[in-house]
Structure 1
Amino acid sequence: MADVIVIYASVTGNTEEMAEAIVEGLRAGGCQPVVKSVIDASAVDLLDYRGVILGAYTWGDGELPDEFLDFYEEMDDVSLEGRRWAVFGSADSSYPVYGAAVDILAAKLAERGAAPIMKELKIDLSPSRQEKEECVEYGRRFAVQITVDAALKP
């Protein structure tokens, strides 16, 4: 089983910037992640990885982006027991529900049996330089934890 897969959706580039910074952190932490746009991914892809990181912007008043809908539905057909996860995304604080797509993905991963490594990461609109550094650190911490988990597994 490979280390980590990062799957994301981005329309304006904000979530993609976050994904790139998280991947930088994963690499700094010793992982060699596979990175995919959700359009090029299938939920069964998750079965090949110990660590799963999903990223999505929130659409409208609190929905998953359209390009994530098929993937989300496919997740109902996979058991993610033994997988660890994190979720991130760009959000817009002008909406009543802040970053709801991130919460929706986190709930689905937990429902399918995966366990979180850390709290979800939400950034308002485009990440600042400091927020990109937070994304790098987020990825690095994920990599460290997934490595520790692997070492502890019999």
Structure 2
Amino acid sequence: MKIAVAYASMTGNTECIADEIKRYLDEKNLEHSTFHIPSDEFYAFDLADYDVIFFGSYTYGDGDLPFELMDFYDEVEDEDLSGKRIGLFGSCDSFYPLYGVALDQFKERFESVGATVYGELVKVDLDPDEEDLKHTRAMVDDVLASK
């Protein structure tokens, strides 16, 4: 099973969640590749190389996709991700009326091209606390247990 952890993070909050996923996968002795978008070269067509993808995005401002994921989001539409298992996570800000909608948008986009999003969407209000990290591990377990 090939696993990817790919994410965008502006303030480091989504990166903290990604780090927890990586730690948990390491504890389970599961090999994985990690990509910080856009620092690492990871594109929508790269998703096809993985069986399981943990994908993280923060929600910007009033519910906008992060600027560094806009092209990626559009390019996903051209991929066939049938059979891919995906878990979604990211930081959000409850100050805004639209909470974590970037994750909702990615869920719809991934499912529209055949992928299945498993587990609860991990939406963390700014900086993750211990309870958020428990939810993150539960999402990872849900995705890994799916077939």
Structure 2 counterpart SS, 1:90: strand
Measured in 1, the distance between the counterparts of 2:111 and 2:139 equals 19
Q: Does 1:10 align with 2:14?
A: no
| Contact 1:90 1:122 (C-alpha < 8 Å) held by counterparts | yes
Q: Does 1:139 align with 2:133?
A: no
Q: How much has 1:6 moved relative to structure 2? A: 1.2
Show structure 1 runs of 5+ residues with no match: 150-154
Deviations 1:84-103 (A, max 9, x none): 11111100111111101111
The residue number in structure 2 matching 1:27 is 26
Structure 2 counterpart SS, 1:77: coil
Structure 1 counterpart SS, 2:31: coil
What letter matches 1:55 in structure 2?
G
Q: How much has 1:141 moved relative to structure 2? A: 4.0
| Contact 2:87 2:139 (C-alpha < 8 Å) held by counterparts | no
Measured in 2, the distance between the counterparts of 1:32 and 1:142 equals 15
Deviations 1:47-88 (A, max 9, x none): 011111210110010011000011111111110001111111
Q: Does 1:123 align with 2:140?
A: no
Structure 1 counterpart SS, 2:2: strand
What letter matches 1:48 in structure 2?
D
Measured in 2, the distance between the counterparts of 1:38 and 1:109 equals 17
Report 1 or 2 for greater relative contact order, CA contacts < 8 Å, sequence distance ≥ 6: 1
Measured in 2, the distance between the counterparts of 1:128 and 1:96 equals 22
Structure with more helix by fraction: 1
Deviations 1:8-60 (A, max 9, x none): 00010000000010122223334211110121210111001111121011001
Aligned residue pairs, count = 145
Measured in 2, the distance between the counterparts of 1:117 and 1:3 equals 16
Q: How much has 1:134 moved relative to structure 2? A: 3.0
Alignment of 1:69-88 (within 5 A): 69-88=70-89
The CA RMSD measured in Å over matched residues stands at 1.5
